[in-house]
Amino acid sequence: MNRISKLIVLFFMLCPSWVAAEEYAVGMVTDISGITLNVVNKEPQQMDIFSELFVGDQLKIEKHASVTLIYWDNQRVFQIQGPSVVHILKDSIQHVSGHKPEIKKIALLQHVRINPAEVAQSGLVMRSAQKNKPISLLNLRGGKTAEKRPTFMWKLHQKTDRVRFELVDEDGNMLLVKVLNGERFTLPASVHLNEGTVYSWSVEGRMENGQVFADWGDFELAEPSLVAQKNNIKPKMHAGFSQRLLYAAWLQQNGFGDDAHHLWLKLAKERPNSPALKAALPN
């Protein structure tokens, strides 16, 4: 055995546990009502939407409460009514007492995996971007759109009679200049957008004291294959909460930030008692 091989063997002998198996989440809570506690530690922890599940966790679902758990790797969904106690295993749930879980599968799970930190950070960025500005763009501020004729929207926080709208491509070519009234504008059919090209748009106004203000954003038209996938995996009108939550995460992760934002808002209205979901949303 050469010297390098001996060093590798010695390294694994001295660091057996964390090298062999790093702890990672096997699943997540995607819907909840009432009280569900993780009682694996001395101090029980209240679960919430986006709470991650680790092997060894034990959940106590109180009477009249319910929780939906998903497993990332096998696309399994467990819906549990309280009272119930379950134990989290690597690939499934062990029923301990009370009501037994209902097991389903969601094909959308193969397309998405939610990182709670990324969801929260997205909300934080959108909140901070809107503060203390005479004008705020409300959409197309980064990411992708599936619309070939998108509608641009903004909010005026200072009184002005009209604004100047500009659209340029990534090479700096001016595609459109328009003087407008109001706070929205739909791109005319005469302006053609190309997939994969980054476009910049801006809205400029003038306050009563003569001071000029503006805001601007970038976006790109999504490629047809991604738009097709977006449409194919979109949940049906009466799809369950967890499935729509997963779709919102897919939209966000694939650059459709505006579509994700609207869906997050709807989900938050349906679950107003979820602190984690509320914290992830922009004001």
Q: What percent of the chain has pLDDT over 90?
A: 63
Q: What are phi and psi of 46, to 5 degrees?
A: -70, 130
- What's the rounded Cα separation, in Å, for the pair 52 and 35? 16
pTM summary value = 0.82
pLDDT of 18 reads 38
Dump pLDDT digits (tens) for 94-128. Answer: 999 999 999 988 878 888 888 887 776 665 455 55
E-assigned strand segments in the chain:
27-33, 36-38, 45-46, 52-53, 58-61, 66-71, 76-81, 84-88, 93-98, 102-105, 135-137, 144-145, 151-156, 163-169, 174-180, 184-186, 198-206, 212-221
pLDDT of 283 reads 53
Sorting pLDDT into bands at 50, 70 and 90, what band is 185? very high
Q: Is the pLDDT of residue 16 over 80?
A: no
Largest CA distance in the chain: 82
Dump pLDDT digits (tens) for 47-82. Answer: 999 999 999 999 999 999 999 999 998 889 999 999
Sorting pLDDT into bands at 50, 70 and 90, what band is 21? very low
**Full set of structural domains in the chain with CATH:** 14-105 (no CATH), 111-283 (2.60.40.1220)
Kindly give the pairing relationship between strand 66-71 and strand 76-81: antiparallel
Of 113, 116, 146, 169, residue with least CA distance to 258: 146
